[in-house]
Structure 1
Protein backbone atom coordinates (compact mmCIF):
# COMPACT_ATOMS: atom_id res chain seq x y z
CA UNK A 1 0.00 0.00 0.00
CA UNK A 2 3.02 2.28 -0.14
CA UNK A 3 1.99 3.77 -3.47
CA UNK A 4 -1.54 4.37 -2.15
CA UNK A 5 -0.32 6.01 1.07
CA UNK A 6 3.35 6.33 2.07
CA UNK A 7 5.99 4.25 3.81
CA UNK A 8 5.84 6.57 6.84
CA UNK A 9 2.10 5.95 7.20
CA UNK A 10 2.65 2.20 6.98
CA UNK A 11 5.34 2.33 9.67
CA UNK A 12 3.03 4.45 11.81
CA UNK A 13 0.31 1.80 11.41
CA UNK A 14 2.66 -0.83 12.83
CA UNK A 15 3.48 1.37 15.82
CA UNK A 16 -0.18 2.23 16.47
CA UNK A 17 -1.19 -1.43 16.17
CA UNK A 18 1.36 -2.36 18.82
CA UNK A 19 0.46 0.64 21.00
CA UNK A 20 -2.82 -1.06 21.90
CA UNK A 21 -0.74 -3.65 23.75
CA UNK A 22 2.46 -1.78 24.60
CA UNK A 23 1.27 1.83 24.93
CA UNK A 24 4.16 3.03 27.08
CA UNK A 25 6.84 1.01 25.31
CA UNK A 26 6.06 2.30 21.82
CA UNK A 27 6.87 5.85 22.96
CA UNK A 28 10.45 4.74 23.57
CA UNK A 29 11.11 3.35 20.08
CA UNK A 30 14.18 5.08 18.66
CA UNK A 31 15.26 2.95 15.69
CA UNK A 32 14.08 0.48 13.06
CA UNK A 33 15.93 -2.22 15.00
CA UNK A 34 13.86 -1.40 18.11
CA UNK A 35 10.70 -1.48 15.99
CA UNK A 36 11.55 -4.88 14.51
CA UNK A 37 12.25 -6.32 17.96
CA UNK A 38 8.97 -5.07 19.40
CA UNK A 39 7.05 -6.17 16.29
CA UNK A 40 8.37 -9.72 16.64
CA UNK A 41 7.46 -9.69 20.31
CA UNK A 42 3.96 -8.53 19.37
CA UNK A 43 3.53 -11.34 16.81
CA UNK A 44 4.67 -13.93 19.34
CA UNK A 45 2.30 -12.71 22.05
CA UNK A 46 -0.74 -12.17 19.82
CA UNK A 47 -0.36 -15.01 17.30
CA UNK A 48 1.83 -17.48 19.17
CA UNK A 49 4.35 -17.50 16.34
CA UNK A 50 8.02 -16.85 16.92
CA UNK A 51 9.97 -15.34 14.02
CA UNK A 52 12.97 -17.33 12.79
CA UNK A 53 15.35 -14.42 13.38
CA UNK A 54 15.29 -11.57 15.88
CA UNK A 55 15.62 -8.92 13.17
CA UNK A 56 16.08 -10.28 9.64
CA UNK A 57 13.67 -11.83 7.14
CA UNK A 58 14.30 -15.56 6.67
CA UNK A 59 13.38 -17.47 3.49
CA UNK A 60 13.40 -21.22 4.08
CA UNK A 61 12.81 -24.41 2.13
CA UNK A 62 13.69 -26.58 5.14
CA UNK A 63 10.90 -29.15 5.28
CA UNK A 64 10.49 -29.30 9.07
CA UNK A 65 10.48 -25.53 9.45
CA UNK A 66 8.17 -25.01 6.47
CA UNK A 67 5.77 -27.70 7.72
CA UNK A 68 5.53 -26.03 11.13
CA UNK A 69 4.84 -22.67 9.49
CA UNK A 70 2.23 -24.21 7.20
CA UNK A 71 0.31 -25.54 10.21
CA UNK A 72 0.13 -22.02 11.61
CA UNK A 73 -0.72 -20.65 8.17
CA UNK A 74 -3.43 -23.25 7.55
CA UNK A 75 -5.20 -22.13 10.70
CA UNK A 76 -6.22 -19.04 8.77
CA UNK A 77 -9.89 -19.11 8.31
CA UNK A 78 -13.10 -19.63 10.18
CA UNK A 79 -16.70 -20.29 9.17
CA UNK A 80 -17.65 -19.40 5.59
CA UNK A 81 -14.71 -17.06 5.15
CA UNK A 82 -12.85 -20.20 4.02
CA UNK A 83 -14.59 -19.85 0.67
CA UNK A 84 -11.94 -21.59 -1.43
CA UNK A 85 -10.59 -24.22 0.95
CA UNK A 86 -7.63 -22.06 1.97
CA UNK A 87 -7.18 -24.05 5.16
CA UNK A 88 -5.97 -27.14 3.29
CA UNK A 89 -4.43 -25.72 0.13
CA UNK A 90 -0.76 -26.29 1.03
CA UNK A 91 0.65 -29.77 0.48
CA UNK A 92 2.81 -30.86 3.41
CA UNK A 93 5.37 -32.92 1.55
CA UNK A 94 8.97 -32.57 0.46
CA UNK A 95 9.63 -31.31 -3.05
CA UNK A 96 12.78 -31.81 -5.10
CA UNK A 97 12.55 -28.30 -6.53
CA UNK A 98 12.04 -26.43 -3.25
CA UNK A 99 15.63 -25.17 -3.30
CA UNK A 100 15.17 -23.70 -6.77
CA UNK A 101 11.97 -21.99 -5.66
CA UNK A 102 13.68 -20.57 -2.59
CA UNK A 103 16.46 -19.18 -4.78
CA UNK A 104 13.90 -17.61 -7.12
CA UNK A 105 12.24 -15.84 -4.19
CA UNK A 106 15.63 -14.70 -2.87
CA UNK A 107 16.54 -13.30 -6.29
CA UNK A 108 13.16 -11.57 -6.54
CA UNK A 109 13.67 -9.97 -3.13
CA UNK A 110 17.04 -8.65 -4.23
CA UNK A 111 15.48 -7.36 -7.46
CA UNK A 112 12.72 -5.65 -5.48
CA UNK A 113 15.41 -3.76 -3.59
CA UNK A 114 16.76 -2.46 -6.90
CA UNK A 115 13.30 -1.44 -8.12
CA UNK A 116 11.90 0.19 -4.97
CA UNK A 117 13.79 0.76 -1.74
CA UNK A 118 10.51 1.65 0.01
CA UNK A 119 8.79 -1.64 -0.85
CA UNK A 120 11.95 -3.55 -0.01
CA UNK A 121 12.42 -1.82 3.35
CA UNK A 122 8.78 -2.25 4.36
CA UNK A 123 8.78 -5.90 3.35
CA UNK A 124 11.92 -6.45 5.43
CA UNK A 125 10.11 -4.77 8.33
CA UNK A 126 6.74 -6.52 8.15
CA UNK A 127 7.60 -9.98 6.79
CA UNK A 128 9.59 -12.15 9.18
CA UNK A 129 9.44 -15.47 7.31
CA UNK A 130 8.79 -16.84 3.83
CA UNK A 131 8.44 -20.62 3.55
CA UNK A 132 8.43 -22.87 0.49
CA UNK A 133 5.98 -25.76 0.12
CA UNK A 134 4.07 -27.20 -2.88
CA UNK A 135 0.39 -27.02 -3.78
CA UNK A 136 -1.81 -28.51 -6.50
CA UNK A 137 -2.14 -25.14 -8.18
CA UNK A 138 -1.94 -22.10 -5.94
CA UNK A 139 1.37 -20.23 -6.10
CA UNK A 140 1.49 -18.77 -2.61
CA UNK A 141 -0.42 -16.59 -0.23
CA UNK A 142 -0.87 -14.93 3.13
CA UNK A 143 -3.20 -15.32 6.09
CA UNK A 144 -4.83 -12.80 8.38
CA UNK A 145 -3.89 -15.09 11.29
CA UNK A 146 -0.26 -15.20 10.13
CA UNK A 147 0.84 -11.57 9.94
CA UNK A 148 4.48 -11.48 8.88
CA UNK A 149 4.36 -14.94 7.26
CA UNK A 150 4.25 -15.64 3.50
CA UNK A 151 3.91 -18.99 1.77
CA UNK A 152 5.62 -19.07 -1.64
CA UNK A 153 5.32 -21.68 -4.38
CA UNK A 154 6.48 -19.97 -7.60
CA UNK A 155 6.65 -21.82 -10.90
CA UNK A 156 10.20 -22.37 -12.06
CA UNK A 157 9.17 -20.84 -15.40
CA UNK A 158 8.07 -17.55 -13.85
CA UNK A 159 10.21 -14.61 -14.98
CA UNK A 160 11.87 -12.82 -12.06
CA UNK A 161 9.65 -9.78 -12.64
CA UNK A 162 6.54 -11.84 -11.85
CA UNK A 163 7.96 -13.09 -8.56
CA UNK A 164 8.76 -9.47 -7.67
CA UNK A 165 5.09 -8.66 -8.28
CA UNK A 166 4.13 -11.62 -6.11
CA UNK A 167 6.15 -10.11 -3.23
CA UNK A 168 4.49 -6.71 -3.70
CA UNK A 169 1.11 -8.46 -3.82
CA UNK A 170 1.67 -10.30 -0.54
CA UNK A 171 3.22 -7.28 1.18
CA UNK A 172 0.06 -5.33 0.38
CA UNK A 173 -2.08 -8.01 2.03
CA UNK A 174 -0.01 -7.70 5.20
CA UNK A 175 -0.30 -3.91 5.17
CA UNK A 176 -4.07 -4.40 5.02
CA UNK A 177 -3.99 -6.95 7.87
CA UNK A 178 -2.13 -4.45 10.04
CA UNK A 179 -4.42 -1.60 9.03
CA UNK A 180 -7.43 -3.70 9.98
CA UNK A 181 -5.97 -4.51 13.39
CA UNK A 182 -5.32 -0.81 13.91
CA UNK A 183 -8.69 0.57 12.75
CA UNK A 184 -11.17 -2.24 12.10
CA UNK A 185 -12.46 -2.73 8.55
CA UNK A 186 -15.57 -4.94 8.54
CA UNK A 187 -18.75 -5.97 10.26
CA UNK A 188 -18.15 -9.72 10.35
CA UNK A 189 -21.75 -10.59 11.18
CA UNK A 190 -22.68 -9.07 7.83
CA UNK A 191 -19.83 -10.23 5.61
CA UNK A 192 -20.13 -13.85 6.76
CA UNK A 193 -23.43 -14.09 4.89
CA UNK A 194 -22.96 -15.44 1.38
CA UNK A 195 -25.62 -13.14 -0.04
CA UNK A 196 -23.29 -10.26 0.82
CA UNK A 197 -20.33 -11.48 -1.20
CA UNK A 198 -19.03 -9.41 -4.12
CA UNK A 199 -16.86 -9.99 -7.19
CA UNK A 200 -13.11 -10.27 -6.68
CA UNK A 201 -10.86 -8.00 -8.76
CA UNK A 202 -8.34 -10.82 -9.21
CA UNK A 203 -10.29 -14.09 -9.36
CA UNK A 204 -13.38 -12.52 -11.00
CA UNK A 205 -15.78 -14.58 -8.88
CA UNK A 206 -17.95 -13.89 -5.82
CA UNK A 207 -15.94 -13.89 -2.60
CA UNK A 208 -16.36 -12.59 0.97
CA UNK A 209 -16.16 -8.81 1.23
CA UNK A 210 -12.85 -8.77 3.10
CA UNK A 211 -11.17 -10.69 0.30
CA UNK A 212 -12.81 -8.49 -2.34
CA UNK A 213 -11.51 -5.30 -0.73
CA UNK A 214 -8.08 -6.90 -0.48
CA UNK A 215 -8.21 -7.87 -4.16
CA UNK A 216 -9.07 -4.29 -5.13
CA UNK A 217 -6.29 -2.74 -3.04
CA UNK A 218 -3.70 -5.32 -4.11
CA UNK A 219 -4.59 -4.89 -7.79
CA UNK A 220 -4.21 -1.11 -7.58
CA UNK A 221 -0.84 -1.45 -5.88
CA UNK A 222 0.36 -3.72 -8.71
CA UNK A 223 -0.83 -1.20 -11.31
CA UNK A 224 0.84 1.70 -9.50
CA UNK A 225 4.02 -0.35 -9.06
CA UNK A 226 4.12 -1.02 -12.79
CA UNK A 227 3.25 2.56 -13.67
CA UNK A 228 5.80 4.27 -11.43
CA UNK A 229 8.53 1.66 -11.00
CA UNK A 230 8.86 -1.22 -13.46
CA UNK A 231 6.77 -0.43 -16.51
CA UNK A 232 3.77 -2.36 -17.82
CA UNK A 233 4.62 -5.92 -18.94
CA UNK A 234 3.31 -7.33 -22.21
CA UNK A 235 2.74 -10.92 -21.05
CA UNK A 236 2.75 -11.08 -17.25
CA UNK A 237 2.26 -14.47 -15.59
CA UNK A 238 1.22 -13.80 -11.99
CA UNK A 239 -1.21 -10.93 -12.63
CA UNK A 240 -3.27 -9.97 -15.68
CA UNK A 241 -2.09 -7.30 -18.13
CA UNK A 242 -2.61 -3.79 -16.78
CA UNK A 243 -5.69 -2.82 -18.80
CA UNK A 244 -7.43 -6.05 -17.86
CA UNK A 245 -6.55 -5.46 -14.21
CA UNK A 246 -7.96 -1.92 -14.41
CA UNK A 247 -11.23 -3.23 -15.84
CA UNK A 248 -11.45 -5.91 -13.15
CA UNK A 249 -10.89 -3.36 -10.38
CA UNK A 250 -13.71 -1.18 -11.72
CA UNK A 251 -16.06 -4.17 -11.94
CA UNK A 252 -15.15 -5.28 -8.41
CA UNK A 253 -15.72 -1.78 -7.03
CA UNK A 254 -19.19 -1.65 -8.60
CA UNK A 255 -19.99 -5.08 -7.17
CA UNK A 256 -18.78 -4.13 -3.70
CA UNK A 257 -20.60 -0.79 -3.77
CA UNK A 258 -23.79 -2.64 -4.72
CA UNK A 259 -23.39 -4.93 -1.69
CA UNK A 260 -22.72 -1.94 0.56
CA UNK A 261 -25.77 -0.04 -0.73
CA UNK A 262 -28.15 -2.99 -0.30
CA UNK A 263 -27.05 -3.49 3.30
CA UNK A 264 -27.04 0.20 4.20
CA UNK A 265 -30.63 0.44 2.98
CA UNK A 266 -31.40 -2.21 5.61
CA UNK A 267 -29.42 -0.37 8.28
CA UNK A 268 -26.57 -2.88 8.19
CA UNK A 269 -22.85 -2.14 8.02
CA UNK A 270 -20.52 -3.93 5.61
CA UNK A 271 -17.41 -1.76 5.71
CA UNK A 272 -16.30 0.38 8.63
CA UNK A 273 -15.34 4.00 7.89
CA UNK A 274 -11.63 3.24 7.55
CA UNK A 275 -12.29 0.54 4.95
CA UNK A 276 -14.68 2.86 3.10
CA UNK A 277 -11.93 5.48 2.96
CA UNK A 278 -9.50 2.93 1.54
CA UNK A 279 -12.04 1.97 -1.13
CA UNK A 280 -12.67 5.63 -1.98
CA UNK A 281 -8.93 6.17 -2.36
CA UNK A 282 -8.81 3.33 -4.90
CA UNK A 283 -11.76 4.81 -6.80
CA UNK A 284 -10.05 8.19 -6.95
CA UNK A 285 -6.79 6.63 -8.13
CA UNK A 286 -8.16 4.29 -10.78
CA UNK A 287 -9.86 7.11 -12.71
CA UNK A 288 -6.36 8.23 -13.75
CA UNK A 289 -5.94 5.08 -15.87
Structure 2
Protein backbone atom coordinates (compact mmCIF):
# COMPACT_ATOMS: atom_id res chain seq x y z
CA UNK A 1 0.00 0.00 0.00
CA UNK A 2 1.23 3.51 -0.73
CA UNK A 3 2.38 5.38 2.36
CA UNK A 4 0.35 8.11 3.99
CA UNK A 5 2.37 11.08 5.13
CA UNK A 6 2.50 11.74 8.83
CA UNK A 7 0.10 14.34 10.13
CA UNK A 8 -2.98 14.93 12.20
CA UNK A 9 -6.37 13.98 10.79
CA UNK A 10 -8.42 17.13 10.66
CA UNK A 11 -12.07 18.21 9.93
CA UNK A 12 -13.92 15.67 3.19
CA UNK A 13 -10.06 16.54 4.13
CA UNK A 14 -11.19 18.29 7.29
CA UNK A 15 -14.53 16.48 7.67
CA UNK A 16 -13.33 12.90 7.20
CA UNK A 17 -9.57 13.15 7.64
CA UNK A 18 -6.71 12.73 5.20
CA UNK A 19 -6.38 8.97 5.54
CA UNK A 20 -10.04 8.31 4.73
CA UNK A 21 -9.84 10.61 1.70
CA UNK A 22 -6.71 8.82 0.53
CA UNK A 23 -8.36 5.44 1.12
CA UNK A 24 -11.25 6.46 -1.13
CA UNK A 25 -8.86 7.39 -3.92
CA UNK A 26 -6.88 4.15 -3.54
CA UNK A 27 -10.07 2.05 -3.70
CA UNK A 28 -11.28 3.85 -6.82
CA UNK A 29 -7.84 3.66 -8.46
CA UNK A 30 -7.59 -0.07 -7.75
CA UNK A 31 -10.69 -0.72 -9.86
CA UNK A 32 -8.69 0.37 -12.91
CA UNK A 33 -5.44 -1.46 -12.11
CA UNK A 34 -4.44 -5.05 -12.84
CA UNK A 35 -2.76 -5.36 -9.45
CA UNK A 36 -2.57 -3.60 -6.09
CA UNK A 37 -1.94 0.13 -5.79
CA UNK A 38 1.54 0.17 -4.28
CA UNK A 39 3.15 3.43 -5.33
CA UNK A 40 2.17 7.05 -5.79
CA UNK A 41 2.50 6.53 -9.54
CA UNK A 42 0.11 3.54 -9.35
CA UNK A 43 -2.36 5.74 -7.50
CA UNK A 44 -2.09 8.61 -9.97
CA UNK A 45 -2.41 6.29 -12.99
CA UNK A 46 -5.31 4.28 -11.58
CA UNK A 47 -7.15 7.39 -10.44
CA UNK A 48 -6.73 9.09 -13.82
CA UNK A 49 -8.09 5.94 -15.52
CA UNK A 50 -11.04 5.81 -13.13
CA UNK A 51 -11.84 9.48 -13.64
CA UNK A 52 -11.58 9.14 -17.41
CA UNK A 53 -14.04 6.25 -17.30
CA UNK A 54 -16.58 8.01 -15.06
CA UNK A 55 -16.41 11.63 -16.23
CA UNK A 56 -19.20 12.72 -18.55
CA UNK A 57 -16.82 15.15 -20.23
CA UNK A 58 -13.06 14.85 -20.09
CA UNK A 59 -10.60 17.07 -18.27
CA UNK A 60 -7.11 17.62 -19.64
CA UNK A 61 -4.62 14.92 -18.62
CA UNK A 62 -2.20 15.52 -15.76
CA UNK A 63 0.00 16.53 -14.19
CA UNK A 64 -1.45 19.66 -12.59
CA UNK A 65 -0.99 22.72 -14.77
CA UNK A 66 -2.37 26.21 -15.29
CA UNK A 67 -4.16 26.56 -18.61
CA UNK A 68 -2.51 29.18 -20.82
CA UNK A 69 -4.14 28.34 -24.15
CA UNK A 70 -6.93 30.83 -24.93
CA UNK A 71 -8.97 28.28 -26.89
CA UNK A 72 -8.96 25.88 -23.94
CA UNK A 73 -9.76 28.75 -21.57
CA UNK A 74 -12.77 29.65 -23.70
CA UNK A 75 -13.95 26.04 -23.73
CA UNK A 76 -13.69 25.89 -19.95
CA UNK A 77 -15.40 29.27 -19.54
CA UNK A 78 -18.31 27.95 -21.58
CA UNK A 79 -18.47 24.71 -19.56
CA UNK A 80 -18.45 26.66 -16.30
CA UNK A 81 -21.06 29.12 -17.57
CA UNK A 82 -18.59 32.00 -17.30
CA UNK A 83 -18.32 33.20 -20.89
CA UNK A 84 -17.79 36.99 -20.97
CA UNK A 85 -20.21 39.22 -22.82
CA UNK A 86 -17.34 40.52 -24.94
CA UNK A 87 -15.86 37.35 -26.39
CA UNK A 88 -12.97 39.25 -27.95
CA UNK A 89 -11.33 39.85 -24.57
CA UNK A 90 -8.57 37.56 -23.43
CA UNK A 91 -9.42 35.35 -20.47
CA UNK A 92 -5.97 34.51 -19.07
CA UNK A 93 -5.12 36.03 -15.70
CA UNK A 94 -2.15 38.34 -15.28
CA UNK A 95 1.20 36.78 -14.26
CA UNK A 96 0.91 38.10 -10.70
CA UNK A 97 -2.31 36.10 -10.26
CA UNK A 98 -0.48 32.97 -11.35
CA UNK A 99 2.08 33.69 -8.64
CA UNK A 100 -0.73 34.20 -6.11
CA UNK A 101 -2.20 30.82 -7.06
CA UNK A 102 1.16 29.16 -6.45
CA UNK A 103 1.50 30.94 -3.10
CA UNK A 104 -1.98 29.72 -2.15
CA UNK A 105 -1.18 26.13 -3.06
CA UNK A 106 2.02 26.31 -1.06
CA UNK A 107 0.28 27.44 2.15
CA UNK A 108 -2.07 24.46 2.13
CA UNK A 109 -1.04 21.64 4.48
CA UNK A 110 1.15 19.05 2.69
CA UNK A 111 -1.59 16.41 2.85
CA UNK A 112 -4.11 18.78 1.26
CA UNK A 113 -1.60 19.63 -1.48
CA UNK A 114 -1.15 15.93 -2.14
CA UNK A 115 -4.88 15.37 -2.55
CA UNK A 116 -5.23 18.47 -4.71
CA UNK A 117 -2.50 17.34 -7.10
CA UNK A 118 -4.05 13.88 -7.36
CA UNK A 119 -7.49 15.24 -8.24
CA UNK A 120 -6.87 18.43 -10.21
CA UNK A 121 -5.13 18.36 -13.57
CA UNK A 122 -6.01 21.76 -15.03
CA UNK A 123 -6.67 25.14 -13.44
CA UNK A 124 -8.21 27.91 -15.51
CA UNK A 125 -7.08 31.20 -13.99
CA UNK A 126 -9.42 33.82 -15.43
CA UNK A 127 -8.87 37.56 -15.49
CA UNK A 128 -11.32 38.91 -12.87
CA UNK A 129 -11.94 41.98 -15.04
CA UNK A 130 -13.45 39.63 -17.60
CA UNK A 131 -14.94 36.90 -15.38
CA UNK A 132 -16.67 37.65 -12.07
CA UNK A 133 -14.36 36.76 -9.13
CA UNK A 134 -15.02 33.31 -7.75
CA UNK A 135 -14.23 29.67 -8.41
CA UNK A 136 -15.87 26.50 -9.62
CA UNK A 137 -15.53 22.78 -10.27
CA UNK A 138 -17.55 20.35 -12.35
CA UNK A 139 -18.43 17.06 -10.65
CA UNK A 140 -19.03 15.49 -14.06
CA UNK A 141 -15.56 16.63 -15.17
CA UNK A 142 -13.30 15.83 -12.23
CA UNK A 143 -9.89 17.36 -12.86
CA UNK A 144 -10.91 20.82 -14.10
CA UNK A 145 -11.41 23.86 -11.87
CA UNK A 146 -11.45 27.60 -12.46
CA UNK A 147 -10.54 30.58 -10.31
CA UNK A 148 -11.07 34.25 -11.12
CA UNK A 149 -8.93 35.96 -8.49
CA UNK A 150 -10.47 39.11 -7.01
CA UNK A 151 -8.36 42.27 -7.17
CA UNK A 152 -8.00 42.49 -3.39
CA UNK A 153 -7.63 38.76 -2.68
CA UNK A 154 -4.75 37.36 -0.69
CA UNK A 155 -3.12 33.95 -0.91
CA UNK A 156 -5.41 32.82 1.92
CA UNK A 157 -8.49 33.79 -0.12
CA UNK A 158 -7.24 31.76 -3.07
CA UNK A 159 -6.41 28.86 -0.72
CA UNK A 160 -10.04 28.90 0.43
CA UNK A 161 -11.11 28.52 -3.20
CA UNK A 162 -8.70 25.63 -3.72
CA UNK A 163 -10.13 23.82 -0.68
CA UNK A 164 -13.68 24.69 -1.79
CA UNK A 165 -13.25 23.10 -5.20
CA UNK A 166 -11.19 20.17 -3.92
CA UNK A 167 -14.05 19.41 -1.51
CA UNK A 168 -16.50 19.06 -4.40
CA UNK A 169 -14.14 16.62 -6.11
CA UNK A 170 -13.46 14.63 -2.94
CA UNK A 171 -17.20 14.37 -2.32
CA UNK A 172 -17.68 13.13 -5.87
CA UNK A 173 -15.09 10.41 -5.26
CA UNK A 174 -16.73 9.54 -1.94
CA UNK A 175 -20.06 9.30 -3.76
CA UNK A 176 -18.56 6.89 -6.30
CA UNK A 177 -17.42 4.64 -3.46
CA UNK A 178 -20.36 4.77 -1.05
CA UNK A 179 -23.34 6.37 -2.80
CA UNK A 180 -24.82 9.60 -1.42
CA UNK A 181 -28.28 9.87 -2.96
CA UNK A 182 -31.36 7.70 -3.15
CA UNK A 183 -32.04 9.11 -6.61
CA UNK A 184 -28.81 10.52 -8.08
CA UNK A 185 -30.53 11.98 -11.14
CA UNK A 186 -32.99 13.93 -9.00
CA UNK A 187 -30.22 15.04 -6.62
CA UNK A 188 -28.45 16.99 -9.36
CA UNK A 189 -31.60 18.36 -11.01
CA UNK A 190 -31.80 22.13 -10.56
CA UNK A 191 -34.59 22.78 -8.05
CA UNK A 192 -35.46 24.74 -4.91
CA UNK A 193 -34.82 21.91 -2.45
CA UNK A 194 -32.95 23.58 0.44
CA UNK A 195 -30.89 26.67 1.22
CA UNK A 196 -27.14 26.53 0.70
CA UNK A 197 -24.58 27.15 3.42
CA UNK A 198 -22.71 30.13 1.96
CA UNK A 199 -25.42 32.21 0.29
CA UNK A 200 -28.69 30.71 1.62
CA UNK A 201 -30.03 30.34 -1.92
CA UNK A 202 -32.44 27.50 -2.70
CA UNK A 203 -30.66 24.80 -4.68
CA UNK A 204 -30.71 21.07 -5.44
CA UNK A 205 -30.08 18.25 -2.91
CA UNK A 206 -26.51 17.80 -4.16
CA UNK A 207 -25.61 21.49 -4.14
CA UNK A 208 -27.06 22.07 -0.66
CA UNK A 209 -25.25 19.02 0.76
CA UNK A 210 -21.95 19.93 -0.88
CA UNK A 211 -22.23 23.54 0.32
CA UNK A 212 -22.53 22.42 3.94
CA UNK A 213 -19.40 20.30 3.79
CA UNK A 214 -17.58 23.09 1.92
CA UNK A 215 -18.41 25.55 4.72
CA UNK A 216 -17.01 23.16 7.33
CA UNK A 217 -13.89 22.66 5.22
CA UNK A 218 -13.35 26.41 4.90
CA UNK A 219 -13.60 26.85 8.66
CA UNK A 220 -11.21 23.95 9.13
CA UNK A 221 -8.71 25.59 6.79
CA UNK A 222 -9.05 28.96 8.50
CA UNK A 223 -8.47 27.40 11.90
CA UNK A 224 -5.39 25.61 10.63
CA UNK A 225 -3.92 28.67 8.92
CA UNK A 226 -4.50 30.77 12.04
CA UNK A 227 -2.98 28.24 14.39
CA UNK A 228 -6.30 27.32 15.99
CA UNK A 229 -7.74 30.84 16.34
CA UNK A 230 -10.96 30.70 14.35
CA UNK A 231 -12.30 34.09 15.38
CA UNK A 232 -11.70 36.47 12.48
CA UNK A 233 -14.34 39.19 11.97
CA UNK A 234 -12.96 40.11 8.54
CA UNK A 235 -13.20 36.61 7.13
CA UNK A 236 -11.99 35.78 3.65
CA UNK A 237 -13.31 34.94 0.20
CA UNK A 238 -16.30 33.18 1.80
CA UNK A 239 -17.22 35.99 4.20
CA UNK A 240 -16.71 36.58 7.93
CA UNK A 241 -16.48 33.54 10.20
CA UNK A 242 -19.62 34.28 12.18
CA UNK A 243 -21.79 34.84 9.11
CA UNK A 244 -20.43 31.73 7.37
CA UNK A 245 -20.96 29.50 10.41
CA UNK A 246 -24.45 30.76 11.21
CA UNK A 247 -25.60 30.38 7.61
CA UNK A 248 -24.02 26.94 7.35
CA UNK A 249 -25.76 25.79 10.52
CA UNK A 250 -29.09 26.99 9.14
CA UNK A 251 -28.36 24.86 6.09
CA UNK A 252 -27.42 21.90 8.30
CA UNK A 253 -30.60 22.15 10.35
CA UNK A 254 -32.78 22.35 7.25
CA UNK A 255 -31.12 19.33 5.64
CA UNK A 256 -30.85 17.11 8.71
CA UNK A 257 -34.31 17.88 10.10
CA UNK A 258 -36.25 17.38 6.89
CA UNK A 259 -39.00 14.81 7.38
CA UNK A 260 -38.22 13.43 3.92
CA UNK A 261 -34.45 13.45 4.41
CA UNK A 262 -34.06 9.70 4.07
CA UNK A 263 -35.99 9.77 0.80
CA UNK A 264 -33.18 11.85 -0.71
CA UNK A 265 -29.92 11.02 1.10
CA UNK A 266 -28.22 7.75 1.89
CA UNK A 267 -26.58 7.06 5.24
CA UNK A 268 -23.10 8.07 4.09
CA UNK A 269 -24.22 11.57 3.06
CA UNK A 270 -26.11 12.02 6.33
CA UNK A 271 -23.01 11.05 8.34
CA UNK A 272 -20.91 13.58 6.42
CA UNK A 273 -23.52 16.29 7.03
CA UNK A 274 -23.57 15.47 10.74
CA UNK A 275 -19.78 15.59 10.94
CA UNK A 276 -19.74 18.94 9.13
CA UNK A 277 -22.38 20.37 11.47
CA UNK A 278 -20.43 19.18 14.52
CA UNK A 279 -17.29 20.88 13.25
CA UNK A 280 -19.14 24.12 12.59
CA UNK A 281 -20.79 24.12 16.02
CA UNK A 282 -17.39 23.72 17.65
CA UNK A 283 -16.48 27.16 16.28
CA UNK A 284 -19.33 28.94 18.10
CA UNK A 285 -17.71 29.17 21.58
CA UNK A 286 -14.59 30.83 20.14
CA UNK A 287 -16.73 33.38 18.30
CA UNK A 288 -18.44 34.37 21.53
CA UNK A 289 -15.11 35.36 23.11
Greater displacement, 56-65 / 169-178: 56-65
Structure 1 18/37 Cα, relative in aligned 2: closer, same or farther at 3 Å?
A: closer
| Distance in 1 between residues matched to 2:131 and 2:250, nearest whole Å | 29
How far did 1:245 drift? 1.1
Structure 1 105/7 Cα, relative in aligned 2: closer, same or farther at 3 Å?
A: farther
Structure 1 193/94 Cα, relative in aligned 2: closer, same or farther at 3 Å?
A: closer
TM-score, scaled to structure 2? 0.80
| Contact 2:59 2:142 (8 Å CA) reproduced | no
User: Unpaired segments of 5 or more residues in structure 1?
Assistant: 75-87
Structure 1 208/159 Cα, relative in aligned 2: closer, same or farther at 3 Å?
A: same
| Distance in 1 between residues matched to 2:147 and 2:97, nearest whole Å | 10
| Contact 1:105 1:163 (8 Å CA) reproduced | no
RMSD: 2.6
How many pairs are equivalent? 263
Equivalent in the alignment of 1:10: 21
Q: How does 1:204-243 map to 2 (within 5 A)?
A: 204-230=200-226, 231-232=229-230, 233-243=232-242
Equivalent in the alignment of 2:69: 62
| Contact 1:59 1:129 (8 Å CA) reproduced | yes
| Distance in 2 between residues matched to 1:112 and 1:132, nearest whole Å | 13
Structure 1 283/139 Cα, relative in aligned 2: closer, same or farther at 3 Å?
A: closer
| Distance in 2 between residues matched to 1:206 and 1:148, nearest whole Å | 27
Q: How does 1:9-158 map to 2 (within 5 A)?
A: 9-19=20-30, 21-22=31-32, 25=34, 27-47=35-55, 49=58, 51-53=60-62, 56-70=63-77, 73-74=79-80, 88-91=81-84, 93=87, 95-96=89-90, 98-100=92-94, 103-133=96-126, 137=132, 139-158=134-153
| Distance in 2 between residues matched to 1:160 and 1:114, nearest whole Å | 8
How far did 1:161 drift? 1.5
Q: Does 1:198 align with 2:207?
A: no
User: Unpaired segments of 5 or more residues in structure 2?
Assistant: 1-11, 284-289
How far did 1:39 drift? 1.8
| Contact 1:98 1:133 (8 Å CA) reproduced | yes
How far did 1:95 drift? 4.1
